[in-house]
A and B are shown apart, each in its own frame.
Chain A
Amino acid sequence: MALSRLNCFSSRSANLLKTLSSAISLRRPISTDTTPIIVETSVPFTSHQCEAPSRSVETNPKELLTFFRDMALMRRMEIAADSLYKAKLIRGFCHLYDGQEAVAVGMEAAITKKDCIITAYRDHCTFVARGGTLLEVFAELMGRQAGCSRGKGGSMHFYKKDSNFYGGHGIVGAQVPLGCGLAFAQKYSKDENVSFALYGDGAANQGQLFEALNISALWDLPAILVCENNHYGMGTAEWRAAKSPAYYKRGDYVPGLKVDGMDALAVKQACKFAKEHALKNGPIILEMDTYRYHGHSMSDPGSTYRTRDEISGVRQERDPIERIRKLILSHDLATEKDLKDIEKEVRKEVDDAIAQAKLFVDT
């Protein structure tokens, strides 16, 4: 709190005072600091059949730090899963989410655990965002009883019913009618909560999606369809699969919003907007413009249908963790060392969880 007032001073005196205040512990630790900060999203929202929300997003040091830590944890977790898969400790399918962390984290910041989320098979990070532990993730991936599905589900079938996370589905597109069903049940029960049904650009062409959307619109269900558009449905680029890859417009009579899915604050703003909309007016589509660094799954190198330049370009220009790091640093909320320490902590947490998971016998 004292720090933000000091920002008006020259940077030299600010630094001096910062050093002094941290020495005397006048500065409130950023982990609890909820002083509002206004940040502009990377790009304005594009809307279809509705008015776009403002691109000025209110956040605070605590939230930004949480975003950074959570996304760093997710990133480390997915990279560790990659190694475990190559070591043959994870079998079958393993679809990694690294690059897309901002969607999971931004969404969670806008909603409560009483709102429902359902997604497809790229579900590890969504599970963690809903409160799942690293041990549950790694134990499940390695087929141990300590896994969230006691080893019976595997990578594609993580669930956390007590946080209203309904999986974890392997059949492309099936989760969308299921998510609309959750919304139906919420409305039937007069719950005043919403359901988010996440799907990819590949699933966006599924017929059952339009069937469910039609019913949701007819019955005014509080359903939010979120297209995580990472631009590739397995090896097929969006322009080869969709006549119209403007997924936020594909709802026709259903309003839509296009969002920079690599910007956690834009995601948060969009989800907040969508929740208010859905409770009053029925279904809405959010298209998150995002990117996955890995291939479709661990069986796919991910470089036969896209160039390494493209992948490294996105990593350089749009990485969601780097974006938050820059924000934190530019607002003087923490030092580079602070953030590096967090990354080290998170790495240790992941390593510890893996070690712990390995202690359990196979299911």
Chain B
Amino acid sequence: MLAIIRQTVSNGASRNRPAFYASRSYSAAVKEMTVREALNSALDEEMSADPKVFLIGEEVGEYQGAYKISKGLLEKYGLERVRDTPITEAGFAGIGVGAAYYGLRPVVEFMTFNFSMQAIDHIINSAAKSNYMSAGQLSVPIVFRGPNGAAAGVGAQHSQCYASWYGSCPGLKVLVPYSSEDARGLLKAAIRDPDPVVFLENELLYGESFPVSEEALDSEFCLPIGKAKIEREGKDVTIIAFSKMVGYALKAADMLAKEAISVEVINLRSIRPLDRATINASVRKTNRLVTVEEGFPQNGVGAEICASVVEESFGFLDAPVERIAAADVPMPYAANLERMAVPQVEDMVRAAKRTCYRSV
């Protein structure tokens, strides 16, 4: 019920809102929350609920967070639990993993995931693989979080998307929230999870506002890890996206609706585990697929989705799978080049039309 209202407000599609639901109100207006507020509240609640949870990273304390995600937490929880680190990712990520071995629940912030490459050995070899290598003796309840993917004008070394890199590693869970509810529910689930989680946020989404249900505001609210969300139901073509690209896909769906193409938009929410069931069920319904990601095309998330669909639903495809990704080039700086290097709504519209054999 609440889901219907959520969908109506979030994508502005012309759905009939049943009068019965419209009259029911917990508050006069549906509560809105930015992704930043959502993450901050999730961290706050989890730190309040479990004294073992602590936050480390660059500028998370006194600076209130490089992107203000950890605003107010130092003041509330003190120096023991909100720790500013030197600019030494390998060192502090390793220290975080060691603390997790002992039984604490660290949240390690990377200022962006580009810097996680300096610590990637600890994420993969020290965190992800340890539960298996120790035959279950060690569990590593750590969360590595931070902004991932392109921002605006930050250039090649600060714009890479790491979803497919981390997504290929057994032992890791990789989450990619889009909306504020995603951010809250998935971060809370990640912190409570006994295994290492890579939590890929998006800087450009931090300031975006989304409606949140009463349920999502509850301090026990968690979303299941490994379940995708059907943001918009459709019957002609499936567009699968994650993170910021979900918003673009929804816009593309609006534009395509005007041309009588009904698009089903899937918000992955989780790269690993990948919700193959939801993906394949959707493709079996619509028979056409467009995958969208911000990362580089080769060996990307779209490639994995395509392989999964070919393996499980080949007979249901009426057209080749279309894969939209960043241009196969380091991110340029100039605004016009940057625009051409990342997927745009028009790319998704054209791809969807191609799967429908419509002239573009």
Q: A residues touching B (Cβ–Cβ < 8 Å)?
A: 116, 118, 148-153, 157, 159-161, 166-171, 174, 176-186, 188-189, 195, 207-208, 210-212, 214-215, 218-219
Contact = CB atoms under 8 A, between A and B. Distances in A.
Most buried by A among B97, B102, B138: B102
Interface string B61-102: 000000000000000000010010110101111111111111
A186 B86 CA distance: 21
Contact of B94 (A152, A178, A188, A210): A178
Most buried by B among A178, A179, A183: A178
Interface secondary structure of B, over-half rule: helix
A118 B94 CA distance: 13
Contact of A159 (B103, B126, B138): B138
Contact of A181 (B98, B133, B134): B98
Contacts of B83: 219
Contacts of B135: 148-153
Given A182-B102, A208-B94, A218 B122 contact: no
Interface string B100-134: 11111000000000000000011001100010111
Nearest to B136: A150
B95 to A, nearest CB: 4
Contacts of A211: 86, 88, 90-92, 94
Nearest to B142: A181
Which 9 pairs across A and B sit closest by C-beta, in order of nearness? A181-B98, A177-B94, A211-B91, A185-B102, A211-B88, A178-B98, A150-B135, A181-B95, A208-B90
Contacts of B101: 166, 178, 181-182, 185
Contacts of B95: 177-178, 180-181, 184, 212, 215
A307 B130 CA distance: 38
B248 interface: no
A103 B132 CA distance: 29
Contacts of A159: 133-134, 137-138
Given A166-B98, A176-B94, A189-B103, 8 more contacts: A161-B134, A168-B133, A174-B125, A181-B96, A185-B101, A186-B102, A188-B99, A212-B94
A189 B121 CA distance: 26
18 contacts: A118-B98, A149-B137, A157-B134, A159-B134, A166-B138, A176-B94, A177-B98, A178-B94, A181-B94, A181-B95, A181-B96, A184-B98, A184-B99, A184-B104, A208-B91, A208-B94, A211-B94, A215-B86
A167 B132 CA distance: 13
B80 A188 contact: yes
A174 B133 CA distance: 15
B54 interface: yes
A157 B83 CA distance: 31
Interface residues of B, number: 32
Nearest to B101: A166
Contacts of A171: 121, 125-126
Contacts, number: 126
Nearest to A116: B102
Contacts of B99: 181-182, 184-185, 188
Contacts of A178: 94-95, 97-98, 101, 122, 126
B85 A179 contact: no
Most buried by A among B83, B92, B125: B92
A143 B83 CA distance: 42
Contacts of A151: 135
Nearest to A167: B134
Contacts of B97: 177-178, 181
B91 A153 contact: no
Nearest to A183: B98
A189 B101 CA distance: 13
Contacts of B102: 116, 181-182, 185-186, 189
A179 B98 contact: yes
B336 to A, nearest CB: 39
Interface in B132-187: 132-135, 137-138
Given A152-B135, A185-B103, A188-B99, A169 B91 contact: no
A188 B91 contact: no
B134 A153 contact: yes
Contacts of A208: 88, 90-91, 94
A212 B91 contact: yes
A244 to B, nearest CB: 21
Nearest to B139: A161
A174 B132 contact: no
A168 B137 CA distance: 12
B125 A215 contact: no
A153 B125 CA distance: 12
Given A174-B121, A180-B95, A185 B86 contact: no
A210 B130 CA distance: 23
B294 to A, nearest CB: 30
Interface in B270-293: none
B125 to A, nearest CB: 5
Contact of B86 (A167, A207, A214): A214
Nearest to A145: B135
Contacts of B91: 177, 180, 208, 210-212, 214-215
A188 B125 contact: no
A123 to B, nearest CB: 12
B89 to A, nearest CB: 8
A133 to B, nearest CB: 15
B125 A214 contact: no
Contacts of A182: 98-99, 101-102
Contacts of B103: 185, 189
B243 to A, nearest CB: 29
B122 A174 contact: yes
A185 B103 CA distance: 8
Contacts of A174: 94, 121-122, 125-126
Contacts of A183: 98
Contacts of B122: 174, 177-178
A50 B295 CA distance: 52
A161 B90 contact: no
